[in-house]
Chain A
Amino acid sequence: GDSVTQMEGPVTLSEEAFLTINCTYTATGYPSLFWYVQYPGEGLQLLLKATKADDKGSNKGFEATYRKETTSFHLEKGSVQVSDSAVYFCALSDPGANSKLTFGKGITLSVRP
């Protein structure tokens, strides 16, 4: 079945540091890939998405590229801010499975001033 694997956390960075959060997936079909963010006390929000190979999703300075050859969708940001502190989930949606979302375990990012 479909699965998403995220790097172990938590991650603590200083403000303006470079961020990379690894995500790899296993899927039988051609999934769409997503990064969701959950700020403290709030629901999950879609951060960015990519629907086919080599697509790059971007939002709020975050980027991730759909790499079919390595089955990866790593999240990057060049300069993190304190306000980026949150839990980040990588997910995939398999169009052959009613577009259900399969999530990774999530990783907590804390950014120090």
Chain B
Amino acid sequence: GAVVSQHPSWVICKSGTSVKIECRSLDFQATTMFWYRQFPKQSLMLMATSNEGSKATYEQGVEKDKFLINHASLTLSTLTVTSAHPEDSSFYICSAREVGTSYEQYFGPGTRLTVT
């Protein structure tokens, strides 16, 4: 149980285009989902926290107009990287926290974004 999927697992896009990444909780309902960014050989950096039905809360330094997050249902959150640039190339990971729990997060396998 407690499986989180991400789609796509790998995407290449051209500079200036937008790309959407989906995060789904497959066998549980997630009140809260988190989006992280991971640079090579570095830690996960929290980008934003999204709660179902409300606006996402972004961490300091993360551009909310560039990284659009939508948490439309208890099982789906999306991250859209708008007007992508090569510096946005990274590994994006989502996690989900089950309804009624306070701390445990279940992580997706990640999405590798390459902007050319």
Contacts and interface: CB of A to CB of B under 8 A. Distances in A.
B102 A100 contact: no
A73 to B, nearest CB: 15
A101 interface: yes
A25 interface: no
Nearest to B60: A1
Instruction: Determine chain A's interface SS by DSSP, over half rule.
Output: strand
Given A89-B44, A103-B43, A105-B42, A43 B109 contact: yes
Contacts of B110: 43
Contacts of B41: 105
Given A49-B104, A100-B49, A101-B34, 9 more contacts: A36-B107, A43-B93, A44-B93, A46-B105, A89-B43, A98-B49, A99-B102, A103-B43, A104-B43
Contacts of B104: 46, 49
Interface in A31-80: 32, 36, 41-46, 49
Interface residues of B, number: 21
B107 A44 contact: yes
B33 interface: no
B4 interface: yes
Nearest to A46: B104
A24 interface: no
